[in-house]
Structure 1
Amino acid sequence: MSTDVTTDPPHTSPPGEPSESKPGPLARLGTWAGTHRRWMFAIWAVLVIGLGAAAPSVFSSLAGAGWQANGSESVQVRELAQEHFGGNSSAAVQVVLNSPDGPLDPAAQNEILTELRAIADGDDRFAAVIDPQPGMTVSPDGRTAIAIIGANASTDDMVKAVDDHKAEITALATDDVEVYPTGASALWSDFNKANHDAMIKAEMISWPLTLAIMVVAFGSVVAAGLPLLLTLAGLVASAGALVLLNAVTPISVWAMNFAMMFALALGIDYALFMVARFRTAYAQAREKYDDKTAALRATAETMDTAGKAILLSGLTVLVSLSAVLMVPAPAVRTMAVGIMLAVTFVLAASLTLLPAVLAALGGKVNAGSLPWTKKAHHHHGHSPLFTKWGKFLDRRPWAPAIVAVGILIALALPVFGIKVAMPSIAVVPEDAPVRQGYEVVAAQMGPGAPGMLTIIAPESEAAEATEILTANGDIAAVMPAQPAGDGSGLAMIQAMPKVDPSDESMGATVDTLRADLPGSVLVGGPASENLDLQNALNTWFPRVAATILALGFLLLLVALRAPVIALLGTVVSLLSTAAAFGVAKLIFGDGIGADLLGFDPQGFLNGWGPVFFFAMIFAIAMDYTVFLLATAKEHYERHGDARQAQQDAMGQSGRIIFAAAAVMVAVFFSFALADPLPPKEMGIILGVAVLLDALLIRLILLPAILRVSHHGAWWCPKWLDRILPTISFKH
């Protein structure tokens, strides 16, 4: 029915003139990179080696904390406790001494405390050791006591201090007394280590798997190796840049974990798109020119078409993630910064280093070809299978589209029952000292003991505050008020809730206390810090999501100059995001498949998930939208036939989208094998999102929408046409 419109090099000008009479800025950049490739290689070598020198220390030098809502009541409490109460804040290290066989022997206890003081005195980050207080930090049966090493540094530095001294403190245990460092700083220390180990393990699995998928997708060893080389350059540079940035402002260690995962997935996407396009353009140019000229012309054409789509896609990802910077939580902000850095480096490598490599390789890009790929080159980059699928959707667009929408809506429905909360102690491995200490304290002193509330009041109001606390039915015990003793006129009261810090009712308890206590009295402690952060995340989520959607739509509108398809492209991306969260609710909220995936469901999604995953999933969804629509727009600009443009776009980009999605799913699902829950959650949610997005939206729904909307998809009112910048994908 249709003729392959890309078989002959298209002529937009009269046949006698070269069609590339006015190469665009990206085509010029590609030509420059190709002709000055030695310079390009030298620049990247200096960049990668220079920044790479700092890269190996990335996990040890990045910050471990930052999970707080800046400006919240609980952060004020922590700062006051640190300043006026000998560092007895939520960042202090609680050292649990436990004698399983009977009451603690005073001599053994004193010996351990003396050694503990020596450790604390030897590090400026620690304040003085606060001895166990009978009736407060000693269990009723005398078997368990808690000594507190005060915090004399920021939360980030306290996590590092625990990293440095954890083994030393645990080693104070004797045959009769167990010793466990616990508390928030120790929790983050163990938590970050478990996650780092899981990330490295997942990377080890995903790299070989990725290479295998790439070889199958490209059918050539050289072409398959290029994306990995490119991604590696981008990753090393961004790791080094994060270390340097961390010297200026603390960057969460999670920033690197996310950046590794995202840079690998996106770098491969971009390179796939570019290399596939280059091979087609090179095959066409080689019919007319010698190898060197053909390689340069193909590089320019690749940059003018695929390069534009990649630049637009990269900008969409950066814009989506920049919206996360609105959330006033340092860890969340720096995670976004980490990914943005990695994406920037990968994007820069795709648009400068890759064209230089392609121009240098020329025909050698197909070296190491596998037997079954010989046929594919005759189709000028069009996949016979996806061309057939495009034609099928052209004939019957409605049924597949309705089925796809039905599946997505069904999967998205559970979203309305989704619950979020900050992670509980269960996210740390069972053998971690912090969890063992936590469980001992909960068993010996009551479930609320590990999550003591810290109340700071003016001394004049301490008696009234104590009365209100004692009268509250959710509080199990109230400790006597302790004056600061430094002339500040403040007093600290510790109150033990009746429930575990992760219990759903904790939020209501803290809200009630804040409402009942006098206005000058502040409620804090580790559990309150988690609740305040959760509230901030919940407050900011709708704003972040709305910003991402609006900016995503605007970017598509500017690039495609077509309001109808820009709006529909944004809406279908939102649909796949909602479906991914619906699946997340079924798995992590309801525990469906938990045994198979090897985790204990918490009954909720980790608190930072919605804000962060929304930005990441939407960025990836828009990534594929851009690839498909930019290709369709290019063909539509060339011959003006909307139906043919949909088929050509499917034939040309279907296989690349399918291969890119397969790589992303492999990368993300390899993180699902991690033991700790957060990387598992991240891997599964992002993997499911990409799977749904590629199969149901990019390969069914969006092409069907293009077919049904016909010329309407590319319509643009005259007034809008006048104000939008002129961007063309035609080469």
Structure 2
Amino acid sequence: MSRLLYRLGRAAALRPWRMIIVWLVAVGALFGLAGAFGGATHDNYRLSGSGAQRASDLLADHFPALSGADARVVVRNPAGRVDQDRLAAVGAKLRELPHVAAVDPAPPGKGGATGLLTVRYDVPVTELAPKASLDRLEGATAELRAAGYQVEFGGQLAENVGAPGGIGEGVGVVAALVVLFLAFGSVVAAGLPLAVALAGLGAGVSGITLLAAATDIATTAPTLAVMVGLGVGIDYALFILTRHREGLAEGLPVPEAAGRATATAGMSVLFAGFTVLLALCGLLLSGVPVFMTMGFATGLVVAATVLSALTLLPAVLGLAGRRVLRRRDRAAGAVVHTDAPLVRRWAGHVGRHPWAWLLVSLVVLLTLAAPAAGMRTWPSDASSEPTSNTVRRSYDLLADGYGPGANGPLLVAVDLRKVDRAQLPAIRDRIARTDGVVDVAPPQMSPDGAAAVLVATPAYGPQDERGPGVVDRLRAHALPDGAEITGLTAIYVDLNRRLDDRLWPVIGLVVATSFVMLLLVFRSLVAPLKAAAMNLLSIGAAYGVLVAVFQWGWGSALLGLPHSVPVSSFITLLMFVVLFGVSMDYEVFLLSRVREDWLRTGDARGSVGSGLAATGRVISSAALIMVAVFAGFASDPSLVIKQMGVGLAVAVALDATLVRLVLVPAAMALLGRANWWLPGPLARVLPEFDPHGAAAEEPERTPVPA
């Protein structure tokens, strides 16, 4: 494989415009196809086999008005009671809007100062163009605002109107340029990794848009894919560029240096990217379609960035020539230093006092991870939005006028083919007597008479810790066979429990596949075990920081949140697979250089210092870029993306500093030659891989000015 990569890189550098034109045509074609045939994103939270899903299916089959999207128009009169005639006139206007199937008015709220109109559509939210539909709602209610009323909007329609994006991407790009320029001292060298990563990103995101035309893609999937793809894409290009500069410093011609870099660092990039893809495959075990599509989308972008690093980067390196070096390093007779003496001395210091540094780093990581023991996971809702958002304001108005449970009513679906209609009054009474239920509306019959629905209002909002108990009590004591509960809170209960049940199988699969991958690459039992343990430590520390920042509220105000919030149910599983894959990237790059030196010298402790010296600067630069990219996404309005950005930034920062610069050299110094231990029988059956590019053709070194 390394020989193939060598030839690919050298050929691309020799004839750069061929590869560049191929990429321009490919990305342009994908953009055009995505614009012409791409689909829209849509969250599919279908939980096959869950009680909430059975109830939702029954309602969709027998209550057509409940099968489409909905919007809530919440009206507040600050000066007194809401004029019901004026509200009815607005309701009539709303019924005339496109795709509106019904408008259901609610009784006046507390003191008559709050009114509610529920708008039901005959199509799902993905077919409505939410922003345009919300503008129509604002137009239809303009006379209420003119009369001095406060009008806010909630429900599916308003919650699917995305805030303007691009801030996270912009912060990441600017930060990457600054770090790359400081690291390389060359505008050309700073721009190349970014340009190559953006090319892969463009191809991958276009692929996501095309994929959305064929299947449901989660609304947060493209943002997550861009966040991860931008970080790893720049890093992959950075590692190959660094190796290329080392080749130029050794006197290699540009095509030879590009070929050699592709064969060595490119092989590590290939294995690192494959490790990320393997980790993302763990999302298939979640059993939740929205998670699966997040894995597909992110994997598509990661694969595209790997491809751009291995094919497009050598071409632009050939085009750039020696301009990737600093101006002073291009002068005749200049000596180019690629080593990091400070890192080498630090590794030696840690190696001389391994137990002390091992214990210090473990104490710090375990202290940071400690808050994770009290983590509460729960999906986010409108109460987590900033008060500048109409969805949040409608949530507050509704809670104030109708009680907190009005934001998460429970829909009890009764299959009248299994339950006698005469039992409906008794069912309603049992629901009303259940602790935590404040009101139950009379049963409504479906048009075909095959089903009924009762709307129960709980005493608690969807994020309240007492909400799941109400759902459990209703299911256990109030409902007969043939009746089930759905609604926001019930769906959250089932989703949260499904994700909790699948977390450990996903962790097991990701750790096991990564272990096998590193076992094959480095032919060692100890190195993969050590890598897995250290990755788990850094991920645990990131979980602990998330709890402190979001659940304890230590950083809520800085992140634009109105109050402390639970850690999103999506985060534990999603962040684990992404972080484990990304952390393995650094492990592959570091261990590749350490093992390369170990095979050459046989010095177990010295090879750790040499590997860190060779990779310390580039890993630090790559980590700084990735931290900046991830931290930039902490400004995203989506709570899931915000928490992912903070968690990933913290984990990568810890991984590149405390883990790679302290824990790894300390542990490897203690293990010595045992780092590379592999039982003889296993060594004989394992296939031979060459992650160091030793099989690449020996480059022809010709004297050139340094």
Question: What TM-score do the two structures reach when normalised by structure 1?
Answer: 0.88
> Which residue of structure 2 lines up, in the alignment, with residue 429 of structure 1?
386
> Which residue of structure 2 lines up, in the alignment, with residue 686 of structure 1?
648
For the pair 1:110 / 2:88, whether they are aligned, the reply is yes
What are the Cα deviations for residues 303-323 of structure 1, in whole angstroms up to 9, with x where unaligned?
221111111110111111111
3-state SS of paired residue (1:129): strand
Distance in 2 (alpha carbons) for counterparts of 1:365 and 1:163:
46
For the pair 1:73 / 2:51, whether they are aligned, the reply is yes
For the pair 1:350 / 2:322, whether they are aligned, the reply is no
Moved more, 422-431 or 504-513: 422-431
> Which residue of structure 1 lines up, in the alignment, with residue 489 of structure 2?
527
| CA displacement at 1:106 relative to structure 2 | 4.2
Report the residue type matching 2:59 in the other structure: A
79, 87, 105: which is aligned to 1:132? 105
460, 470, 473: which is aligned to 1:509? 470
Distance 1:710 1:481, change over 3 A: same
430, 435, 456: which is aligned to 1:495? 456
Distance in 2 (alpha carbons) for counterparts of 1:526 and 1:535:
14
| CA displacement at 1:598 relative to structure 2 | 4.3
Distance 1:635 1:379, change over 3 A: farther
Report the residue type matching 1:334 in the other structure: T
Distance 1:254 1:597, change over 3 A: closer
3-state SS of paired residue (1:725): coil
For the pair 1:411 / 2:368, whether they are aligned, the reply is yes
> Which residue of structure 2 lines up, in the alignment, with residue 186 of structure 1?
157
3-state SS of paired residue (2:140): coil
| CA displacement at 1:373 relative to structure 2 | 10
| CA displacement at 1:467 relative to structure 2 | 2.0
| CA displacement at 1:695 relative to structure 2 | 0.5
Higher relative contact order (CA 8 A, sep 6+): 2
Distance in 2 (alpha carbons) for counterparts of 1:551 and 1:154:
39
Distance 1:730 1:397, change over 3 A: farther
> Which residue of structure 1 lines up, in the alignment, with residue 701 of structure 2?
none
- Aligned-pair RMSD on alpha carbons? 2.5
Partners of 1:54 and 1:243 within 8 A in 2: no
| CA displacement at 1:505 relative to structure 2 | 0.7
Partners of 2:105 and 2:117 within 8 A in 1: yes
Distance in 2 (alpha carbons) for counterparts of 1:105 and 1:280:
77
For the pair 1:363 / 2:334, whether they are aligned, the reply is no
> Which residue of structure 1 lines up, in the alignment, with residue 698 of structure 2?
none
> Which residue of structure 2 lines up, in the alignment, with residue 617 of structure 1?
579
Distance in 2 (alpha carbons) for counterparts of 1:43 and 1:457:
59
For the pair 1:724 / 2:686, whether they are aligned, the reply is yes
Distance in 1 (alpha carbons) for counterparts of 2:576 and 2:334:
38
3-state SS of paired residue (1:672): helix
For the pair 1:234 / 2:200, whether they are aligned, the reply is yes
Distance in 1 (alpha carbons) for counterparts of 2:392 and 2:515:
46
Distance in 2 (alpha carbons) for counterparts of 1:433 and 1:393:
54
Equivalent runs, 1:42-441 vs 2, <5 Å = 42-53=21-32, 62-88=40-66, 91-119=69-97, 122-123=98-99, 126=100, 128-132=101-105, 137-139=107-109, 141-154=111-124, 156-157=126-127, 160-173=128-141, 174=143, 175-176=146-147, 177-183=149-155, 185-190=156-161, 193-194=162-163, 197=164, 199-286=165-252, 294-366=253-325, 369=326, 378=335, 381-441=338-398
| CA displacement at 1:23 relative to structure 2 | 6.1
Distance 1:576 1:62, change over 3 A: same
| CA displacement at 1:38 relative to structure 2 | 3.3
Distance in 1 (alpha carbons) for counterparts of 2:114 and 2:129:
24
Distance 1:97 1:675, change over 3 A: closer
Equivalent runs, 1:644-723 vs 2, <5 Å = 644-674=606-636, 677-723=639-685
Report the residue type matching 1:131 in the other structure: D
Distance 1:646 1:477, change over 3 A: same
Partners of 2:11 and 2:255 within 8 A in 1: no
Distance in 1 (alpha carbons) for counterparts of 2:376 and 2:187:
46
Question: What TM-score do the two structures reach when normalised by structure 2?
Answer: 0.91
What are the Cα deviations for residues 518-545 of structure 1, in whole angstroms up to 9, with x where unaligned?
1210101122112221111111111111
544, 549, 555: which is aligned to 1:587? 549
| CA displacement at 1:74 relative to structure 2 | 1.8
Distance in 2 (alpha carbons) for counterparts of 1:474 and 1:23:
65
What are the Cα deviations for residues 110-141 of structure 1, in whole angstroms up to 9, with x where unaligned?
3212211110xx23xx4x214325xxx44364
Distance in 2 (alpha carbons) for counterparts of 1:329 and 1:95:
31
Equivalent runs, 1:555-594 vs 2, <5 Å = 555-594=517-556
Distance in 1 (alpha carbons) for counterparts of 2:669 and 2:563:
43
Partners of 1:62 and 1:252 within 8 A in 2: no
13, 36, 53: which is aligned to 1:34? 13
| CA displacement at 1:93 relative to structure 2 | 2.3
For the pair 1:451 / 2:408, whether they are aligned, the reply is yes
For the pair 1:25 / 2:4, whether they are aligned, the reply is yes
3-state SS of paired residue (1:429): coil
- How many residues align? The count is 683
Moved more, 353-362 or 520-529: 353-362
Moved more, 646-655 or 635-644: 635-644
| CA displacement at 1:650 relative to structure 2 | 1.0
Distance 1:187 1:611, change over 3 A: farther
Partners of 1:634 and 1:730 within 8 A in 2: no
Distance in 2 (alpha carbons) for counterparts of 1:519 and 1:566:
50
Partners of 1:81 and 1:88 within 8 A in 2: yes
Moved more, 99-108 or 434-443: 99-108
Partners of 2:68 and 2:123 within 8 A in 1: no
Q: Percent identity?
A: 32
Report the residue type matching 1:129 in the other structure: A
3-state SS of paired residue (1:243): helix
Distance 1:90 1:422, change over 3 A: farther
Distance 1:688 1:537, change over 3 A: same
Partners of 1:90 and 1:526 within 8 A in 2: no
Partners of 1:219 and 1:372 within 8 A in 2: no
Distance in 1 (alpha carbons) for counterparts of 2:553 and 2:332:
47
Report the residue type matching 1:149 in the other structure: V
3-state SS of paired residue (1:594): coil
Q: Which runs of 5+ in 1 are unaligned?
A: 1-21, 287-293
> Which residue of structure 1 lines up, in the alignment, with residue 592 of structure 2?
630
What are the Cα deviations for residues 240-271 of structure 1, in whole angstroms up to 9, with x where unaligned?
11111111112123111111111111011111
What are the Cα deviations for residues 683-722 of structure 1, in whole angstroms up to 9, with x where unaligned?
2211111111110111111122222211111121111111
What are the Cα deviations for residues 278-334 of structure 1, in whole angstroms up to 9, with x where unaligned?
111222243xxxxxxx22222222122111111111011111111112223232222
Report the residue type matching 1:152 in the other structure: D
Distance in 2 (alpha carbons) for counterparts of 1:55 and 1:655:
39
Distance 1:473 1:720, change over 3 A: same
Partners of 2:387 and 2:562 within 8 A in 1: no
3-state SS of paired residue (2:256): helix
| CA displacement at 1:68 relative to structure 2 | 4.6
What are the Cα deviations for residues 539-568 of structure 1, in whole angstroms up to 9, with x where unaligned?
111111111111111111111011111111
Distance in 2 (alpha carbons) for counterparts of 1:557 and 1:118:
65
Partners of 1:74 and 1:523 within 8 A in 2: yes
